[in-house]
Structure 1
Amino acid sequence: MTRYVAFLRAVNVGGRQVKMEALRALFEQAGLKNVKTYIQSGNVIFDSGSNSTALESKIEKLLEKNLGFDVPTCIRSVAEIQAVLDNNPYPGIVPDKDLQIYIAFLQTLPGKEAAAILETMQNDIETYRMNSREVYVLMKKNTGASPFSNNYLEKKLGLVATTRNLATVTKVTSF
């Protein structure tokens, strides 16, 4: 059995409300073991003997059938998430009220043009770094500018993504 985290996109935003108890029950009905959730933003931790690609498809179909709306899902093993944390391109930076680190989990590997696209998105407020299926965003806060947007990142890359702050990504590895 492998310990996984399913990062669900756009759960409990924009009228797409899901109680965490109901989410845990759906994952358990799907045969997943030791199911836990972390905060209300769609982070589900569980054990499974299946691979992550098969799980993404299975969970997306299950959620659409039972919730009535599409829930894009990005799954990583806890070991993969630890590697994401270990490869943080902003070592030594501690997020605070003025600075935040986000990690966008991409559902698929980006094409060769992704790095160039991210380069065009850089500005004085946001810095982007990509590593495999993750995009790290270092963002200055409280600048008066529009904050980082997962929708904007998805639109620019043409890929499904879901984003969490560094604290959340760190926390889900401890369940």
Structure 2
Amino acid sequence: MARYLALLRGVNVNGRTVRSADLAEAVAGIGVERVRTVLASGNAAFDSDRSVVELKPALEAALAERFGYDAWIVLVTQEALAAVAAAYPFPRTDDDAHPYVVFGSNERALDAAQAAIGEPDRAVELIGRGAGVLYWRCPRGSSTETPVAKVLARAAYRSSTTTRNLRTVEKLAVA
């Protein structure tokens, strides 16, 4: 049995509120075990013998039905998530910068995002590719305003990517 993390895109922002108890109930409704929500940013941990290929569409459909929106998730194993956190290639602590991980539901979306980003101004922000992710480091307070942020906010990536702060990723890795 594998431990999975469902990373929801676009919840608890722009007026779309999903309470943790409701999220846990919706996730449990697809027949998985040991469901737990983590933080209030749309993260659910659970155990299942089923594959990502089976779980992802079932979970997206259950969330869409329960909460009335087009639900998009990135689904990763806890083992893969821990490896992503450990491999973060940039400085982790800096009072002037934030470390982020951009998760993709498919490699094509990440490749396209990286191509659209190009080579950012390294004096401002850093971007790097990992297994199923883009690693990103940007100035504190500007995570919606930098050139990388503007590319990631495009509609083309809305259904296939979601971003988490590295501290959140580290918490999810032990959830």
Shift of residue 3, structure 1, vs aligned partner: 0.2
Paired amino acid for 2:93: P
* Residues 124-170 of structure 1 deviation map (CA, whole Å, 9 limit, x = unaligned): 32211112320110112257992577663153874610000000000
Shift of residue 85, structure 1, vs aligned partner: 1.6
Partner of 1:47: 47
Partner of 2:100: 102
The Cα RMSD (Å) is 2.5
Specify the SS of the correspondent of 1:152. helix
TM-score, with length taken from structure 1: 0.87
Q: How many residues align?
A: 172
Q: 1:55 and 1:145 mapped to 2: Cα distance?
A: 31
Q: Please tell me whether the aligned partners of residues 84 and 131 of structure 2 are also in contact (alpha carbons under 8 angstroms).
A: no
Partner of 2:18: 18
Shift of residue 117, structure 1, vs aligned partner: 2.8
Shift of residue 50, structure 1, vs aligned partner: 0.9
Describe the shift of the 1:27–1:114 C-alpha distance in structure 2 as closer, same or farther (beyond 3 A). Answer: closer
Percent of aligned positions that are identical: 27
Q: Which runs of 5+ in 2 are unaligned?
A: none
Q: Please tell me whether the aligned partners of residues 143 and 149 of structure 2 are also in contact (alpha carbons under 8 angstroms).
A: no
Shift of residue 76, structure 1, vs aligned partner: 0.5
Paired amino acid for 1:155: R
2:87 pairs with 1:81: no
Q: Please tell me whether the aligned partners of residues 105 and 160 of structure 2 are also in contact (alpha carbons under 8 angstroms).
A: yes
Partner of 2:35: 35
Shift of residue 94, structure 1, vs aligned partner: 2.8
Matches within 5 A, 1:153-168: 153=152, 155=154, 158=157, 160-168=160-168
Q: 1:145 and 1:22 mapped to 2: Cα distance?
A: 28
Q: 1:119 and 1:152 mapped to 2: Cα distance?
A: 10
Partner of 1:139: 138
Matches within 5 A, 1:61-76: 61-76=61-76
Q: 1:19 and 1:48 mapped to 2: Cα distance?
A: 23
Q: Please tell me whether the aligned partners of residues 117 and 148 of structure 2 are also in contact (alpha carbons under 8 angstroms).
A: no
Describe the shift of the 1:16–1:94 C-alpha distance in structure 2 as closer, same or farther (beyond 3 A). Answer: same
Q: Please tell me whether the aligned partners of residues 150 and 163 of structure 1 are also in contact (alpha carbons under 8 angstroms).
A: no
Shift of residue 86, structure 1, vs aligned partner: 2.4
Q: Please tell me whether the aligned partners of residues 33 and 48 of structure 1 are also in contact (alpha carbons under 8 angstroms).
A: yes
Specify the SS of the correspondent of 1:61. helix
Shift of residue 66, structure 1, vs aligned partner: 1.1
Paired amino acid for 1:24: A
